[in-house]
Amino acid sequence: MTRIFTDGAEFGDMLFWDIVGGWTVSTTNPFTGNYSYFGNGNSICRKYITEINECYIRLREKVVTANNFLIPIFASDTTTLCYLGGNSLQNWCAYSSAGLLEKSQIVYNFGVWYLVEIYFKLDDAPNGRFVVKIDGIQVINFTGDTKPGAQTGFNNIAFDRGGQQHYVDDIAMNDTNGDIDNSWCEDGRVILLTPSGSGTTNSWANSGGVSASANYLYVDDIPSDSDTTYTYASASSTGAQDQYGLSNFTGGSLVNILRIFPETRIKMATTGSDVVKLGYLPSGGTDQLSGSIALTTSYTRITGTSASANPVTGLPWTVDDINGLEYVIEVG
């Protein structure tokens, strides 16, 4: 798989980002679900990735005021390489740090959600590329020099709202490796299913000191209430699992469910080398778990391996499949 990340702000926090500057989560203007990211003023948030020089990225974007936004930025550490922005006439514009690469012939309107898709390749002319589609229509198709300096790759995606108000939702990114997820991310919405019932296995303890069958009640708060309610297990209890039934999918029956992935907010209580595995239990199947994921002493966002098909049937996910899932977390 070459999906680098998928996120829709649906956990109601900023833990997707490695550096947070001025952006928050908002319930005022989500495109999908209950939350979107909202920027109001100057400063940048960054999501670091393994360095690459080519990618596809998708996001929902709403410009509220003004045009001096840089969303997204392709950057090497804090050095801006190229970005999508706007001009005074409200044209979508592809820029490098050296100047304008190409502008669209169409304009955006303030206060309107747009589906923004980008293919970007950092390279000297004639191999550099910056292609932009808005609501599925190609509006920029630049070929030439997208490498304004000595950097040969980018290691983070950044959002800079340029001092103005801006909303972003439903973000995804692919690199160009492998046989799948190696091209356009295309239209997509991120929907969160939350713990709503006791699962098949309940081996962890909870902060309320009650039966482990009630564990789902201690992990269903969105956003997380930190150390108020939680479940826990000893690092020495290798293989100990907690499983939770999930809320029903409410996206309707006429949808294509392209992937699922487990996600959590978690920390270890003391310094050590604690690890967990994340996964899911499909109806009629067996546990599907990620590899071991290392924890830190601060709450962080961790995700398990995504799946584009039901491992029981080998077919794309259906609504019934999704509604039959259990979430699984295991001491690794």
Q: Average pLDDT of the chain?
A: 95
Residues 6+ apart with CB under 8 A from 29: 36, 38, 62, 167
Q: Which fold has domain 3-174?
A: Jelly Rolls (2.60.120)
pLDDT of 1 reads 54
- The dotted CATH code for 195-331 is 2.60.120
* pLDDT tens-digit series, residues 47-88: 999 999 999 999 999 999 877 899 999 999 999 999 999 999
Residue ranges matching CATH 2.60.120.200 in the chain: 3-174
- Say what the pTM is: 0.95
- For tokens 């920390």, the residue is 267
Phi and psi, residue 34, nearest 5°: -105, -15
Mean pLDDT of 91-109: 97
* pLDDT tens-digit series, residues 5-46: 999 999 999 999 999 988 999 999 899 999 999 998 778 999
Cβ atoms < 10 Å from Cβ of 60? 23
Mean pLDDT of 149-158: 97
Alpha helices by DSSP H, the chain: 319-323
Reported confidence tier of residue 113, pLDDT bands at 50, 70, 90? very high
Q: Are 282 and 328 in contact (CB under 8 A)?
A: no
Dmax (CA) of the chain: 65
Mean pLDDT of 257-270: 96
**Percent helix, strand and coil across the chain, each to the nearest 5:** 5, 45, 50
pLDDT more than 90, % of the chain:
92
DSSP state at residue 213: G
Q: Which residues lie across from 119 on neighbouring strands?
A: 56, 131
